Chain A
Amino acid sequence: AQRVTQPEKLLSVFKGAPVELKCNYSYSGSPELFWYVQYSRQRLQLLLRHISRESIKGFTADLNKGETSFHLKKPFAQEEDSAMYYCALTPGGYNKLIFGAGTRLAVHP
């Protein structure tokens, strides 16, 4: 079965500290993987996708097929990074997204 696991419900760090939000997936094929973010009182929005290998707002994520992971990283957290982060995969076909349970990132001053 296709599944996305985010093991941490809450990640609490201080400003300037490195951040790593973990995401593991189970899928037998080659999925497309994404990170979505929801800031307080805002819509859920796409942060980045693995196919574009981009860095958005200082965040990067590398797909590790051997470990079936797609962890989200940022070297120096900022207070404005505080939000709910969701990892998601699409197995193709009709492009439905399968989401993890989400990790709340709290960055303290």
Chain B
Amino acid sequence: DVKVTQSSRYLVKRTGEKVFLECVQDMDHENMFWYRQDPGLGLRLIYFSYDVKMKEKGDIPEGYSVSREKKERFSLILESASTNQTSMYLCASAVPPNYGYTFGSGTRLTVV
């Protein structure tokens, strides 16, 4: 019973490419989040959204943008991919107040 689906499990892109990471949830959650997960750094929040067409910057938004046109879909966009954006990207959704996120399985992005 998959609840949060990330469209790609592995992705390899070239430096300078525009990259789209897609996330869809089927639980009618208001809040959605994008994190990147790096060894020794844990999970760092990139962007989050608490409603359709609403977005808020997280701790490391530089080089990223997001789109939320529908409640169930939250897209992360790398405008011009760079090698330092090679990472595991995790999408999550939650219902406020937050008593537990539901995470996707992650997208491992490699930028070469």
What residues of chain A have their CB less than 8 Å away from a CB belonging to chain B? Answer: 4, 6, 9, 32, 34, 36, 43-46, 49, 51, 86, 88, 90, 92, 94-102
Contact = CB atoms under 8 A, between A and B. Distances in A.
A97 B45 contact: yes
B45 A98 contact: yes
Given A43-B104, A43-B106, A95 B40 contact: no
Contacts of A51: 99
Interface residues of B, number: 26
B103 A95 contact: no
Contacts of A4: 42
Contact of B94 (A6, A36, A95, A98): A95
Contacts of B42: 4, 6, 86, 99-102
B100 A96 contact: no
B45 A96 contact: yes
Interface in B58-100: 58, 90, 92, 94, 96-100
B96 A94 contact: yes
